Amino acid sequence: MIQGAVPWPKEREEEYARECWPNKNFGQVFLESVTEHSERIALVEGDVRVTYRELGEKAKSLACGLMNLGLKPTERVLFQLPNSLEFFYGYWACHLAGLISVMCLLPHREKELVYLANLTEAVAYMIPDVYRGHDFQEMAGEIQAQCPTLKHIIVSGKARGGYHPLDELLKSDVRGDQGFPQPDPLEVAVLQLSGGTTGTPKVIPRTQNDYIYNNQAIIQRLAFTEKDVMMVPLPLAHNATLNHLVHPALLTGGTAVVCRFDPEAISRTIEKEKVTHLFTVPTIFYRWLEFPDFDKYDYSSLRLTGTGAQKMPPSMAYKIGNKLPGVFLQVFGMTEGVVLIPRLDDTEKTRYETVGKPISPWDEIKVVDEEGKEVPPGELGELICRGPYTIRGYYKAEEYNRKAIDSDGFYWSGDLVRLDEDGNVIVEGRRKDVINRGGEKISAEEVEDLLIDHPKISRIAVIPMSDPELGEKACAYVIPEEGAELTLQDLTEALANRRVAKFKYPERLEIVDSFPYTSVDKVSKKALREDIEAKLLQESKK
């Protein structure tokens, strides 16, 4: 296993390998699926349809192109491609070449990327040329100047001198299937990013065995088959999208449909492609429901729709469930591992008001108080979990791991939940210091750390404020330096100068003289949250 990743204890490893892990790597599973489903449609984007055979050929060529550049198994590739067919080619090519993709988000900018490249000692960086007006090649140059290991920039689109055009690598000669490396199933397959609660983003190592098994368990719970046409209008790099589209399509021989996130595209694509499974975050469901032409389209192909990454109030779940054909359910997942999903034949109450139960019989969950003692059924506590696909540690984060994972190997999720009378989990809130903006997580501490040196800021506390569409947005409470006049624009300009992802920018500023404190002299974010919610309520009445 690569240095910095934490393995399962030996006895657990043996148990999982015997009981549930596939003991295969993604490259193997990919080639098996391509052979078995060769003439089925693997991918659809607009009017372009790609069969498994074509997907296999492209991924193999690109994998050979990457190996010809000198990239070696287990080396890390910063992966930052937008939703596109190239994403799939690049993602599966990295698996075939035994490379470990670091799944960056498109909004990530220099600050996050330099940190990730250096932490993971990335040797390559896969990007679009320009996306939504942002010049990724220019940014790549700046990142490369600060990361000694980063040798290869691979560009989808028009590559500048010295950078490798993805199109050219896609034409590389293929050595036979035997010529691909075979990573150990216990090895890290992908490095995912955590929205995290700390000043610097945490990196989540997902192994070949655990990630494949995680998906097999989802496939079983949701009864996916090769007949499914899956659509997840979310960034492909997210764990939720890998779990509900990229991996299950491949593992079953189903079809993955790439779709824009706007309501019209969602409606049109469901009708045109006869989509059977739609998964997305609550925010996108809300926007979609408000689409004036919603009722003009045919959704009868849908057998399953699901939402997750953020709490959806039951009232909205009933509304959506009643409007769409097939089964609607709420999913709870985390990039760190454990996934909870109701069963397809659970009652509406269970599917709409709870997130059901863990998907694997080897998942262990507990609801505990702050000392780790299980609370009585029905009472609120923190969800902690361990199992065959829940990490035993973040990547290169020894000190933090001692806090996040207890001595029994349970991961403390920071989510506050309770169990209903049947043992289904209801998510009530969270203890962790995170803003959940439309499913995208923002670490409050990270934003505070980036702004605390601002000359006009004396103290800062970033908190979530509720938002009808996104669920939450970031709000900054600031005690300014004496005499300083601070505006929200000052904050956004400072963050733009630090080159961080835009979704982390606070969207409201509250200037205060002092902060409320808890009994242990910590800033009481709970009191600040109550304050902003009271203000929002007041304003909504005006």
Binding site for ligand AMP (CB under 6 A): 194-195, 239-240, 308-311, 330-335, 355, 413, 415, 427, 430, 441
CB of 258 to ligand AMP, least distance (A): 20
Cβ at position 471, least distance to ligand AMP in Å: 9
3-state secondary structure of 312: coil
Per the listing, tokens 């190997």 go with 409
**Minimum CB distance to ligand AMP, residue 193 (Å):** 8
Q: Which is nearer to ligand AMP, 163 or 410 (CB)?
A: 410
Strands 48-51, 41-45: parallel, antiparallel or unpaired by DSSP?
Answer: antiparallel
Q: Smallest Cα–Cα separation from 355: which of 286, 390, 403, 309?
A: 309
Least CB distance to ligand AMP at residue 46 (A): 28
Name every residue whose Cβ is closer than 8 Å to that of residue 123 and which is 6 or more positions away in sequence. 71, 75, 76, 77, 149, 150, 151, 152
Strands 425-430 and 434-437: unpaired
Express the helix, strand and coil content of the chain in percent, nearest 5 each.
Answer: 35, 25, 40
Q: Which two tokens stand for residue 320?
A: 């959506």
User: Toward ligand AMP, which CB reaches closer, 227 or 502?
Assistant: 502
Q: How far is the CB of 375 from ligand AMP (least distance, A)?
A: 18
- Of 155 and 188, the one with the shorter C-beta distance to ligand AMP is 188
Q: How far apart are CA 473 and CA 457, in angstroms?
A: 21
> Burial level of 379, CB count in 10 A (0-12/13-18/19+)?
exposed
Tokens standing for 445? 């501490």
Question: Residue 139 or residue 191: which is nearer to ligand AMP going by CB?
Answer: 191
d(CA 230, CA 301): 11
Nearer to ligand AMP, 52 or 332 (CB): 332
From the list 141, 79, 133, the residue with the least C-alpha distance to 110 is 141
Rounded to a whole number of angstroms, the minimum distance from the CB of residue 306 to ligand AMP is 9
Integer-rounded Cα radius of gyration of the chain: 23
- Nearer to ligand AMP among residue 169 and residue 355 (C-beta): 355
- Give me the least distance between CB of 460 and ligand AMP, in Å please: 23
The nearer residue to ligand AMP, 31 or 385, going by C-beta atoms, is 385
